[in-house]
A and B are shown apart, each in its own frame.
Chain A
Amino acid sequence: MFLINCPYCGERDQQEFKAGGEAHIERPKQPTELSDDEWAEYLFMRKNIKGVQFERWNHAHGCRKWFNMVRDTSNDEIKAIYKMGEKPPSQ
């Protein structure tokens, strides 16, 4: 059970949060310009890395804010947490 440091509320139990998949996949601004393959890439393809992964999380039972997390999926170490729109930390 993680202890997650919500950038708006501070440390809270994982139970209060919802995971939201891979981060930094921007919704295309002009979807109609994309080929089926390009749209499918955005829609379906996710990395699911064993190791350091950039993820979206939501403080669903708290402030309801979305934020980003860098997590090592092999040992669940949370390496960084930063707000939506902020630049991801360089590794």
Chain B
Amino acid sequence: MTKNLRVKSSEYIDETNRISFKFNGKKYHGFKGDTLASALLANDIHLVGRSFKYHRPRGIMTSGSEEPNAIVQINPGTNRTEPNVRATEVEIYEGLEASSQNCWPSVEFDIGGINNFLSPFLPAGFYYKTFMWPASFWEKYEFFIRHSAGLGKSPTSSDPDIYDHRNVHCDVLVIGAGISGILAAKNAAKNNFKTLLVDEKNELGGSTIFENTDFNKIDNKTPSEWLKKEIEELKSIKNLEIKTRTSIAAYHQYNYLLARENLTDHLETKNKTNKVRQRLLKIRAKKVILATGALERPLIFNNNDRPGIMLSSAVKKYSEFYGVACGNKNVFFTNNDSAYESALSLYNKGITVAAIIDIRDQSKSKIVKKVEEAGIKIYWSHSIVDTAGYKRLKKVTIMKLSNDGTSVTGSKVSISCDCLGVAGGWTPAVHLYTQSGSKLKFDDEKNVFLPNQNTPEQISVGSCSGDFKIDEIIKNLDQKLKDTLNIKETGLDNIKVEIDQESSKRNIWLLPSDKPLGKTKPFVDYQNDATAKDIKLALREGFRSIEHVKRYTTTGMGTDQGKLGNMHALGIIADTAGVKMGELGTTTFRPPYTPLTFGAIVGRNVGEFFDVFRRTPMNDWHVQNKAEFENVGQWKRAWYYPVNGETMHQAVQRESKAARESAGILDASTLGKIDIQGSDASEFLNRVYTNAWSKLGIGKCRYGLMLNEDGMVYDDGVTTRLGENHYIMTTTTGGAANVLGKLEDYLQTEWPELDVYLTSVTDHYATASLCGPNSKKILKKIIPDLDLSDENFPHMSFKEANIGHIQCRIMRISFTGEQSYEINVQASYGKDLWEKCIEAGQEFNITPYGTETMHLLRAEKGFIIVGQDTDGTMTPIDLQMDWIVSKKKYDFIGKRSLYRSDTMREDRKQLVGLLTDDPKIVLEEGAQIVSELNQSPVEMLGHVTSSYFSPNLNKSIALAVVRGGKDMMGKKLFVPMENKNINVTVANPVFYDAKNERLNA
């Protein structure tokens, strides 16, 4: 039977709108406005999960994003399921399902709970100590660990939702819409600053919005009434944008922030479709006002983790804001006045408050007096030494606290209760502040870390800056806004605040018990089950740095990043090590403040938008003709064109033979093309290529090799001289952007005196490369009036011509060793050109070939591919391309490095050809090469860089880099593979037509 603990109507809960939802398979009811946590509490459910290590039953502890325990799986088993969601942040809707995590088979009966009884054997660093050796056992350990722990399940089908990114620019960003954030945003907007106010909750007003007591008054109204009026006024202010359900995930330098705006998570499933679920806002703000508030601290005492033990402020919020009593019989445990507000809130609604246990010896404030008058028993100078109740708190046991706070005395008193509100003071939420790079200082009086600086670009206001009381907040806000916004009036100095609260508190980081620490369980990090004992053990074992203690004990490393317990961990370390808190520093707060979905991070960059593809103008033809594609850089290039169910090997063999026997055609549009103009263009090429360019005639082409300054081959390609001061350079497909960048760099920074202009024209031209003995005849058919004789149009020259009205540039250059013509036209005519070539080539069985055949054909000729046969460690000399390095030129990029002692070594790896003794065996690219088989260890001489079966030579050929290979011609070497050793012989890398007779055949 479920109980109803709804105690009063709340204006934030719509009791006319009843909502049913399921938790762990069972149906419950709540109301519109409830969070999953408040709805469960209204049904008297506290037990919602199990802790990570000991599998102890855990309940809802907070009412916000700092929740460590109530971590649930939303809509399990669906494609919208999401793990690690805080029940305190989930707004319920009709049909919502949620389930507990980290328990098996159920939260009520969990096998892992046995760890709790094993806990003496599971100390800090247990995982490190136990599972580190032997390494081969890890697989077994891992299975055990993952099965028994595991935080939630990820969805197994693709995410049906849409996510979005948006850039936002504003003058003032206000983070947090509590009282200080609202007043700051109002002032900023009224003073004509374009202002954005964000808050992670769905309602504005922070904790002040449910501050209904008579003890604090603003302009003679309760703080809640007063603030509601302020919020109402916000709506009519221009320049102000308000975003609720929006949490700042990260605060980077230069006021660059990432926020997640949640748009549909609170809607019924049927209303979620075709809407943006979450939007990642990339905010660049001129000024940031941090009004992130403060988090209440728990107290650290024995068995402080049972379901029913909550933060006192959460008890108050559930009572005031959600109209839910968290227990029938409540006790509070405190070191300051704020628990008394929570107690009165319950008392005023007729709910039993059995006692308040206060570790202070007194407090003189009116609110305490009022509690006493109400007949609520207060135990001054007392501490809780133990609690009882496995799945729900049943009682607390208290004893008198010694004057120095380190021990307890006297007799035990037990108080039965089902809810304990704990109030340990407040910790300013400085996470975002420190993420921005700003530094903290420790305030010894308040026992808190506070922002140490306010700059014109960033201020912290309200309780995140250490102002916990409304009068302090308003007074300091007035001055801070005037300074930061450079304004004269805020209107805040006229506000009359009456406040009755004592700020006295007694801070004891770890409360004593009658039992020694080894026998108690005072949890510091609830999610990761780190206790005070673990922290002390880490210190005894020699850990000193707070960052190390954190990792060793896992304190603060859960999905909540230890928002509740980090301060206590620091305090216990400081006390134990005898150092001051301020000297210890804090651990680093890293983004995201609260977990971010992958969907929000990737936004629209999914599916085909994940990475941009570049396609050539002929792409449609390739697709229609069933080409297989390969990715080259961002390009989709035709790889091979299988016909009649050919395998890749069969297709490539056919294509390769056809290109040499009759005619082939390749889409070469992807090669990088850079237009180079200016009176110093020739000099520029002299400096960037290894060979000489000044004497290249107009209308001639030349192959060039480009080095890095370290002498290693960087790129290659053919450059054509179009005019006196005009060249067009081609680069490798993948290297185009980098080559342009490098050339621009030298022009702008080293040689600004050169008159040279570079323009990338890669996308402006489409290129069809006609190749083979019949290529000339095909070209003749397309352009009858062009004189194609070898005298007029020899190899390595260029002509301009027209195909009909289409202008084209034709280079007679060859990457295959066959007679070839590269025809370049304006990109938009690319497909037209291609189809014309195919049509004209029909009678010669023109065969389209892809990149694989291109690679094979050039390997037959021993032509390198930069990036395949080179890897950034090969000089032109290593490649046996000495012929291309000018001896006459005084300088070019990389020249000096060719004369370094290291690059001149004779035993460098050098490019050679390899022939397998068995001509049918094709080597694997990347295979290692050795000279000895019966030696161990054996020196690795090099590796295979390119390897193919050549249909034109009818044997296997390979290129390889081999240490000292230049002088090994004819030497027998070995390629050891997993199951066999392959015998190979070093050969000349030019396997086919070594005399280049086919270029003019």
Contact = CB atoms under 8 A, between A and B. Distances in A.
Contact of A32 (B254, B896, B901): B896
A31 B741 contact: no
Given A1-B253, A3-B284, A20-B745, A39 B897 contact: yes
Interface string A1-20: 11100000000010000101
Interface string A21-48: 0000011101110101001100100000
Given A31-B891, A39-B897, A76 B437 contact: yes
Contacts of B901: 36
B896 A39 contact: yes
> Which of B254, B744, B745, B752 lies at the interface centre, i.e. has the most chain A CB atoms within 10 A of its CB?
B254
A60 B897 contact: no
A76 B253 CA distance: 8
A64 B744 CA distance: 8
B749 A56 contact: yes
A75 B741 contact: no
B709 interface: yes
Interface string A60-90: 1000111000000001100000001100000
Contacts of A65: 748
Given A13-B284, A32-B896, A75-B437, A58 B254 contact: no
A31 B745 contact: no
A76 B709 CA distance: 29
A60 B745 CA distance: 11
B373 interface: no
Contact of B745 (A39, A40, A66): A66
Nearest to B709: A43
Contacts of B748: 65-66, 84
Contact of B710 (A13, A43, A56): A43
Contacts of B897: 39, 43
A70 to B, nearest CB: 16
B232 interface: no
A43 B898 CA distance: 13
Interface in B525-545: none
Interface string B231-261: 0000000000000000000001111100000
B254 A3 contact: yes
Nearest to A3: B254
Nearest to B900: A36
Interface string B934-951: 000000000000000000
A36 B745 CA distance: 25
Contacts of B890: 32
B750 interface: yes
B458 to A, nearest CB: 14
Interface string B91-102: 000000000000
A1 B282 CA distance: 11
B750 A27 contact: yes
A2 B255 CA distance: 9
A13 B437 CA distance: 18
B900 A39 contact: yes
Contacts of B217: none
B709 A84 contact: no
Nearest to B895: A31
Contact of B253 (A2, A34, A66): A2
Contacts of B284: 3, 13
A39 B710 CA distance: 10
Contacts of A40: 900
B749 A66 contact: yes
A40 B897 CA distance: 9
Interface in B893-908: 895-897, 899-901
Contacts of A28: 896
A10 to B, nearest CB: 13
Nearest to B896: A31
A87 to B, nearest CB: 15
Contacts of A58: 741, 745
A84 B749 CA distance: 7
Contacts of B253: 1-2, 76
Contacts of B252: 1
Contact of A85 (B256, B752, B895, B899): B752
A60 B741 contact: yes
Nearest to B255: A3
A33 to B, nearest CB: 9
Nearest to A28: B896
A17 B750 CA distance: 20
A22 B255 CA distance: 26
> Which of B255, B256, B744, B896 lies at the interface centre, i.e. has the most chain A CB atoms within 10 A of its CB?
B896
B256 A1 contact: yes
Interface in B258-285: 284
A19 B167 CA distance: 23
A1 B254 contact: yes
Interface string B707-742: 001100000000000000000000000000000010
Contacts of B750: 26-27
Nearest to A39: B896
Contacts of A18: 741
Nearest to B437: A75
Contacts of A31: 891, 895-896
> Which of A1, A40, A84 lies at the interface centre, i.e. has the most chain B CB atoms within 10 A of its CB?
A1
Contacts of A56: 749
Nearest to A29: B891
> Which of B255, B745, B748 lies at the interface centre, i.e. has the most chain A CB atoms within 10 A of its CB?
B748
A34 B896 contact: yes
A43 B894 CA distance: 10
Contacts of A36: 900-901
A84 B901 CA distance: 34
A77 to B, nearest CB: 8
A58 B747 CA distance: 13
B616 to A, nearest CB: 23
Contacts of B899: 32
Contacts of A20: 745
A13 B253 CA distance: 12
A8 to B, nearest CB: 11
Interface string B847-877: 0000000000000000000000000000000
Contact of B891 (A3, A26, A32, A75): A32
Interface string B419-443: 0000000000000000001000000
Contacts of A75: 437
Nearest to B747: A66
A64 to B, nearest CB: 6
A30 B252 CA distance: 45
A84 to B, nearest CB: 5
Given A13-B284, A31-B896, A85-B752, A3 B745 contact: no
Contacts of B256: 1, 3, 13
A13 B165 CA distance: 15
B106 to A, nearest CB: 45
Nearest to B740: A64
Interface string B894-929: 011101110000000000000000000000000000
Contacts of B437: 75-76
Contact of B752 (A27, A30, A34, A84): A84
B742 to A, nearest CB: 11
Nearest to B752: A85
Interface of A: 1-3, 13, 18, 20, 26-28, 30-32, 34, 36, 39-40, 43, 56, 58, 60, 64-66, 75-76, 84-85
11 contacts: A2-B253, A13-B256, A31-B891, A31-B896, A32-B895, A32-B899, A39-B897, A56-B749, A60-B741, A66-B744, A85-B752
Leading 6 A-B pairs by shortest Cβ distance: A31-B896, A1-B256, A3-B254, A66-B748, A27-B750, A1-B252
Given A3-B284, A43-B897, A66-B745, 10 more contacts: A3-B256, A27-B750, A28-B896, A30-B891, A39-B896, A56-B749, A76-B437, A84-B748, A84-B752, A85-B752
Interface of B: 252-256, 284, 437, 709-710, 741, 744-745, 748-750, 752, 890-891, 895-897, 899-901
